[in-house]
Chain A
């Protein structure tokens, strides 16, 4: 351990001296976080979906949606709803981008549903507002799913003749709004924009920062100092330990400084410090393991740096450090779980939403799993790394 610390202290002094670790570990992520959070509004609730509604039905089901469900969402500042009487006007506004999406309830829609004949609501979306259109669709889907379920109950009741149709219809139209709002509220589990970009840039550049330690073994070979270390009265594990310790310290310090800096400078809300600390430690370990694999299969420090950059960027993009995964394709969110970045951000998101420390257990275990698997691979592939 003593030898590992001596080696790590030497490596850290070299990294501080050449300033590369400071640039990649602190300046670049902090700068980008500041830029991104400055460009993109920091208040997610200001993400406003503008929808128009044409209600040619006027029946109880469409009326409830228009008069009760949509106003409730509008009150939460998620949507701005405009009523239209003219379908062509709505289509024109959606096409022009004045509205993100539009609902069109055809005449006889409610009667058709209540008679068990079904019906169709038309949703018009602006091609440049795919996310807003998806939100509008989700609201409508949630409502219609509940109407459909209650509709079956109404049908059954009519057969038995034992209930009041108006009362059941009223119950049916009351139910969906709450369900729809619950779905929308689930989005609050994501980080606000400022915190998202602070954390995203921190974990993205973490992979660049930790590479300095693990790749320095290749530099030792380049400078010819590796044989000296191998001949010194220290174990070979202490050499590897020193390099790993360098990576760990660089990564953790970079994350901590970024968390503190973004908290005070741009108001990022990282969440419970203990939970954040656990995620940071596990995140640094996972990055260390992945970069160690790349280092041991590389021939030179330069080759390692090139591959590590490619891996860091690819994992960062896939892991959703540049945009919230919820706004991308579902498949991307699925594949993102193959990256430590996604687990780290998920853990922070849960913490930020006020979930307890238990919410970081799964992300932390996933990050540790990355570390265990990759370190195992590095040891398997890296038998030659300590050859003189």
Chain B
């Protein structure tokens, strides 16, 4: 059974269409990723799904209940973890959790127990009575997620929860999300980190320019690219000159250049790499490093949008 169903979501801000006909569904226990660069429309999409932002068109249901900016009943089914840390700095973690627990209607006798459980899950059991302005960034991030988990929602929406987080906290957050998926919670996870989407998500939608470009499991998406590999060249000298020189190599599917690096999408990197290095030498550009990456979601994104995920 699908916990979330959304279809035809549209949102425009004046002339800018931020989200254009976005739709997908998530089953119980499934983790679904929205993968796209900054400004792709991820946050706008989930704001409409969470009932925070009014959609210009489209419909959202969670656990069979319609979600709009005026809905109340259905919102109990959603746990929302915004991208920015959304906690009260002058309250303790326990007070933050108690406040939101009351808003979500958790019975008083259950709330105290549930707060202890959540504090344990997010690793703040020993710091629950400290004011949150005394917390590190990672601890705040974990509490930010804890508030979303508190009322045991059917659908947990996480908007780029690992942005600006230290590696240790990041790993802890990813492990928590994996546990949630296994516990039967439907998870909607937005990110612009390809590795997170590959690690966590059962299915991924690639979103760019407000549109979903492709959707499926990792395997399904990679098949869209075929057996294309990505060759990353570290260069000393003009990357632009190398890109121009490589135009003569017909088997290259696409080339993108950034400062000091050139990213080349090819079918069968091992056969083509010597020729590419020859062209680089002839063009007078020194190659300082070579990396061959087999097809992944990054390659899929590049294939679908013609630009790198980090752009």
Binding site for B on A (CB under 8 A): 3, 6-7, 10, 13-14, 17-18, 223-225, 227-236, 387-388
Contact = CB atoms under 8 A, between A and B. Distances in A.
B143 to A, nearest CB: 12
Contacts of A234: 72, 103
Contact of B53 (A18, A233, A236, A388): A388
A388 B44 CA distance: 10
A18 B86 CA distance: 19
Q: Which of A13, A225, A388 has most chain B Cβ within 10 Å? A: A225
B69 interface: yes
Given A223-B87, A236-B69, A231 B99 contact: no
Contacts of B75: 231-233
Contacts of B51: 230-231
B102 A225 contact: no
A228 B51 CA distance: 10
Interface string B78-94: 10101011111111000
Interface string B23-35: 0000000000000
A125 to B, nearest CB: 58
B104 A232 contact: yes
Interface of B: 47, 50-53, 69-70, 72-76, 78, 80, 82, 84-91, 95, 99-100, 102-105, 147
Contact of A6 (B50, B74, B95, B103): B103
Nearest to B82: A227
B72 A228 contact: no
Contact of A231 (B78, B85, B91): B78
Contacts of B78: 231
B104 A233 contact: yes
Given A232-B75, A233-B72, A225 B87 contact: yes
Nearest to B67: A231
B90 A224 contact: no
B84 A224 contact: yes
B80 A233 contact: no
Contacts of A6: 99, 102-103
In the A-B complex, list the 4 residue pairs whose CB atoms are closest, starting with the nearest. A224-B86, A233-B75, A224-B84, A231-B80
Contact of B86 (A10, A228, A233): A228
Given A231-B51, A388-B47, A225 B88 contact: yes
Contacts of B89: 223
